[in-house]
Structures are given as C-alpha cells and as structure tokens.
Structure 1
Amino acid sequence: MDYSKLFRMDDRKTFVLGSGSGIGRESALALAAQGAVVVCADRDLAGATQTAQLIEAAGGLASVYQLDVLDAEAISVAAQEHSDSETLVFTAATNVRKRLLDYSAEEYERVVSLNMRSSFDLIRAFGATMVERKRGSIIGFSSIRHLVVEPGQGVYAATKAATVQLLRTAAAEFGPSGVRANAIAPGVVETPLTAPIKANPEWYNAYAAKGALGRWAVPSELAGAVVFLASDAASYVTGTVLYVDGGWTAVDGRFDPPRG
C-alpha cells in the first residue's frame, strides 16, 4: 500500500451536483485538488461555471453541466452521458422552517421533492451505471436532523432521514458489485440555506453553543469528508453516516457541572 497516494483521485471522473456554491463548490475544489476530473453540475449554470473556472485556475480539470434535480428524466440523461463517473456527490436541499400544523401541502411537496425524490432519482440513475461498471462511490448529504430534531424542522428532518436510508439500502444492494454508498451529516454550516438563522443573533449563537467546538462550520470544513469517502482511504466504508457536526450530536445539553 502506497499511503502517500491514499487520498489521491487522479484521473477519476467525479460528478458533483450542487457545485455552484457552498458545500458543493468546496467539495468540487477539494476533489480536483486530489487529481479528480470534476463535472461541476448545478441548476445555477453561472455558479457551476465559476467553480469550474476556479478549478482550472488552480491547474485542475473540470467541465460544466446544467441540471435541475427536480427533472427525473434530465437526471437519467446526465447519468448516461457521464456513465464513466466513478463518484457521485450530491448536496442539493431546501427547507421550510414551520411547525407541522402550519405546513401547507405545497410546502411539503416542495421540500420532499427536492430533498428526497431527487436523492432517489440520483442514486438510481448513477447507481445503475456504477453497478454495470462494478465500481463507484455515491456520497449524499444528509444532516444531523436525520437524528435530532427541533420544532419547525419536521419535514426537512424526515427527508434527511430518508436520504440516509436510501443510501444505506444502496450500499446493501450495490455492494456486491463493488459500489459504495455513504451519507455525510453536517451540523450547522454557514450557507445560503442557513442565512435566516445567521440573521438572528440569538438563534445563531444558540446553535453555535450547542456543539462541542462552540461555533458554526464553514463549507470548506465538509470537503475533507467528501475526499475521504470518495478515495481509496474509504475502500471498506459503505452504508454509514459520517457526522461532521462539531460534536453537536455528542453533547447532551449545555450545563457545565462545577468542578471538584
């Protein structure tokens, strides 16, 4: 084993959906830095193009692909056009923070369609080509909300739990063909999705205090987990959830008992 190349992704094609900004962009940049040939996919073509330009400016290889994850047929076409992808990373998500009794049917459908149905479609489409080639790694972003919840996060949490179970099932079904599937569960990360929380100092500080590290994450702090799960360093890792939450799910309450 040449451990100096354990995390290298040289010449491996990686399809990163959601690469137009935030965690997806940082994931694409990190994978490219390890030698991967990255397809920067996003509904936001301008954002994906900017990410590809950043990769190329650093000496990496990248292309751009516009894809709306709400279009199941478009996902199928993308998987066929990029059937040589060895890694799929998907980060797209939305949230409507409302209590269950206040949710409308339209809001429910919007969150479920983007967060859960797209995960199902992506895993199936890209998983089929990976199973056929007998290798690949699927990495989907869940959330700590798949495990712990709070008022106003019910539907979002349900979709993130579903994403975990879809990936675990993919791990079981695709594993005999050499395909791995794993979930990453971030804690609180400074992204456009969490902007409403950051705008409220009390809310922002309460979330920062919940984790063991006492602060929020920035998107680049999720990139290492993506590289690990995509690389040969994780060749025997499948069907798991990797928590990158600053200790949020390890800490039970915030009272600090007196010493002595």
Structure 2
Amino acid sequence: MRDYANLFRLDGRHAVVVGAGSGIGRESALALAAQGARVTCADRDLDAAEETTNLGNPADPVPSVAAQVPSQLTSYELDVLDPAAIERAVAELGEVDVLVFTAATNVRKRLLDYTGDEFDRVVALNLRASFDLVRTFGKAMAERGSGSIIGFSSIRATTVEPGQSVYAATKAGLVQLLRTAAAELGPSGVRVNAIAPGVVETPLTEQIKAHPDWYSAYAEKSALHRWATPDELAGAVVYLASDAATFVTGSVLHVDGGWTAVDGRFEPPN
C-alpha cells in the first residue's frame, strides 16, 4: 500500500538545483527543501545562491538542533560552462538523488541578423552545459541505481516567433536530449524529464516586460490571460522529483497556462 500522505515528501534525499540564485531555480530549491530534501543551491553567482539559502534556512535555529542537523540548503559555486567544474561538483557533492537545472540565456534577434558568436553563446549554455550536466550527474545516478533529472525546456520548443530561432532550437534539442537520456538511463533506475514553462516573470524576460504592448500580448495568449510567477513552476519540480512520479520519465510537462493548447488569436462569437 503506497503512503499517499507522504507522496511528495523528499526526506533524506539530496537535490542539486543549478541556477538556484534567482527565478525558477530559486523557487525550486525552496520548494524541494520545504518537502524535506537537503538542497545544494548551485549557481555561477555564489552571492545569489547564498541569498537563496538564507531565504530557506531558519533565521534563528535552535542551537541544540543546529549542532546536530546541517542546514537544509547550502550554497555551491558552479560555472556550468566549464565541464571540469561539473566533474568536480559530482565528486565534491556526494550522492545526488535529484538534479534540477534551469540556467539559460537568449539573444532575441532575427535569424539573418544573428552572429556566429551569439549562436555559440546560446548553444553553449542552453544545450552543451545541459549535456554535460546530464552526462556527468546521470552517470553517478546510474551507477547507484536511482535518481531524477529535471531540465527546463520552454514553450519555444514547439511554438516559435520571430527573434527566437536559436533559443527555440536549443530548447527543442534539450527535449530530445532528455528523452534519449530517459531511454538510456531508465534501465538503471534514473528518471529524466523536462518542464516547459510558458511566459514567466524572470530576469530572462525583462526585455518583454519593458514593452507594455508586448507584455500584454503575451498575457492574453494564455488561457489564464496572465504571466506566471516563478513559484508556480516549483510544484512541477517537486512532483517530478518525488515518488508521485515514479513511473514518469521521458515526458515534457507543460506549465504554460494553456499557451500551447489554445490558438488565442481570436475568440469567435457564439
């Protein structure tokens, strides 16, 4: 009989969240810790990662407890553009049960105006770094016989607009990378899934938010007629990390307010 009362609990598990210094990564780290996981908040910006750990750890822990129980969240400096740094992280962080990675970048520019350097920069973070993370952490999980890997794709993996060419290509490529990892690592007990957010209030979307018409058009496109906040993605992360999703792998979970389900251009009369 499954323990449904604790289906989403993560007590005793170690989660590493890459990109935990802000936005969706920060909220994911806080949510995983709230469900009992020990969370390593990894980010290239160590100060930002430490802000996350300070938000999640008790401000005034009971001294007798603090002496025996480590902080639920800890910070770790990690530059995912450096494959050697990822190798070191796997060696230094010990057993990892859950890997979540959110780090991404975008250059919003028409295809004919793109430069080779810009292409390389977007692909390096969005796809190559993801490849290195999945391969390195996934190997250790497979050797141990269990684990959950969660990467962040996007609605742009399936629906595009002018100016999103390379970003969209990397997010579609990430889905196929994760599906392949699910197929290859599944026999070793490792689950691999993607989350595809819609439009979310994060630093990556500042350019859109600064343009009122653009911002409003994005809000109206979803079935809920609004943007998401980063905390609204955290539940999907907890679900895929937990025993509630033990038979879920190779999937893409859209958390997009109905963006990819609804045409949205016009509401016909009855």
TM-score band w.r.t. shorter chain: over 0.9
- Is the Cα–Cα contact under 8 Å of residues 142 and 164 in structure 1 kept in the other structure? yes
Residue 56 of structure 1 and its aligned partner are, at CA, apart by: 1.0
Instruction: Kindly provide the CA deviation profile for residues 209-244 of structure 1, in whole angstroms up to 9, marking residues without a partner as x.
Output: 000000000000000000000000000000000000
Q: Secondary structure at the match of 1:15?
A: strand
Match of 2:222 among 187, 211, 214: 211
- Is the Cα–Cα contact under 8 Å of residues 80 and 129 in structure 1 kept in the other structure? no
1:227 matched to 2:228: no
Aligned to 1:200: 211
Aligned to 2:268: 257
Q: Residues 153-164 of structure 1: matches in 2 within 5 Å?
A: 153-164=164-175
Aligned to 1:15: 16
Distance 2:224 2:265 in 1: 12
Q: Residues 38-117 of structure 1: matches in 2 within 5 Å?
A: 38-57=39-58, 61-117=72-128
Residue 178 of structure 1 and its aligned partner are, at CA, apart by: 0.4
- Is the Cα–Cα contact under 8 Å of residues 29 and 51 in structure 1 kept in the other structure? yes
Instruction: Kindly provide the CA deviation profile for residues 30-62 of structure 1, in whole angstroms up to 9, marking residues without a partner as x.
Output: 000000000010001001011111111277611
- Is the Cα–Cα contact under 8 Å of residues 28 and 231 in structure 2 kept in the other structure? yes
Distance 1:42 1:205 in 2: 31
What letter is aligned with 1:20?
A: G
Instruction: Kindly provide the CA deviation profile for residues 77-109 of structure 1, in whole angstroms up to 9, marking residues without a partner as x.
Output: 111222401000000000000111000011000
Q: Secondary structure at the match of 1:236?
A: coil
User: How big is the alpha-carbon RMSD for the aligned residues of Structure 1 and Structure 2?
Assistant: 1.0
Q: Secondary structure at the match of 2:17?
A: strand
Q: Secondary structure at the match of 1:249?
A: coil
Q: Secondary structure at the match of 2:11?
A: coil
Match of 1:118 among 126, 129, 134: 129
- Is the Cα–Cα contact under 8 Å of residues 220 and 264 in structure 2 kept in the other structure? no
Residue 254 of structure 1 and its aligned partner are, at CA, apart by: 2.6
Distance 2:113 2:197 in 1: 26
Distance 1:240 1:40 in 2: 25
Aligned to 1:31: 32
TM-score by length of 1: 0.98
1:143 matched to 2:144: no
Distance 2:111 2:55 in 1: 41
1:245 matched to 2:256: yes
Residue 253 of structure 1 and its aligned partner are, at CA, apart by: 3.2
Distance 1:126 1:76 in 2: 8
TM-score by length of 2: 0.94
Name structure 2 gaps, 5 residues minimum.
62-70
Aligned to 2:4: 3
Aligned to 2:67: none
Residue 20 of structure 1 and its aligned partner are, at CA, apart by: 0.3
